[in-house]
Amino acid sequence: MVQSPSSVDLNTKVSFDYEALYKGLNDCLTNIKAPGSFSLSEPLKNPPNPGLYLKNGGTIGLPLSDRDAQAIVSASHRAPFGKGEQTVVDESVRKTWQLSPDEFELRNPAWVPFLKSIVAKVSAGLGVDTTGEGVIAELYKLLLYDEGALFKAHQE
C-alpha cells in the first residue's frame, strides 16, 4: 500500500541499506561498456607555439617572460566568476587576469591543424566520436594566473 505524503508519520525512522546501495552502484559503474576511456593524456612532441598576439600589446613569446606577462596584464581585466545569479570579481576566490577572444589572436598557421589533430585524438580516445569530425575546440578566453594565484572552490 502506498501512503500519501499527508499520511506519512515524519517521526518514523527509515532504515537504509548503504552497503547495498554502494555495492549496486559499484556494480553498475563497473559494468559500463563504453568504447572510450574516462580520461586521456600523452606527452606532446614539439607542439607549435600558438603565436599569441595581443591587439593591445603585440607579440607574446613563450615561454612567458616577465615583460610579456606584464603586457598581458596591461591589456587584461580581472576575471570574474559566477556566484549564484551574479557574476562578480573577488580576488579572495579567483585571482586571475582575462582577455576575451576579440582582444588577441593566435597567428601561427601551424596552430589550427595541430589543435584539430589533438581534438580528433581526444574525441576518439574518449569514445565520443571516432572520426573527430563531430567535436570542435572553440576559443573561449585567455587566462593568466598571478604568481600564487588561486581559484577557491565555489558554486556557480
pLDDT digits (tens, 9 = 90+) for 97-136: 899 999 999 999 999 999 998 988 888 888 887 776 778 8
Is residue 81 scored above 80 in pLDDT?
Answer: no
Q: For position 128, what pLDDT does the model report? A: 82
| C-beta of residue 90 within 8 angstroms of C-beta of residue 134 | no
What is residue 4's DSSP assignment? P
| C-beta of residue 69 within 8 angstroms of C-beta of residue 88 | no
**Lowest model confidence (mean pLDDT) among 21-35, 41-55, 77-91, 114-128:** 77-91
Model confidence, pTM: 0.66
Half-sphere exposure of 125 (CA within 13 A, CB side): 11
For residues 36 and 53, give the distance between their C-alpha atoms in angstroms, rounded to a whole number. 36
53 or 46: which carries more pLDDT confidence?
Answer: 53
Q: What are phi and psi of 79, to 5 degrees?
A: -80, 125
Amino acid making up residue 25: L
Q: For position 156, what pLDDT does the model report? A: 45
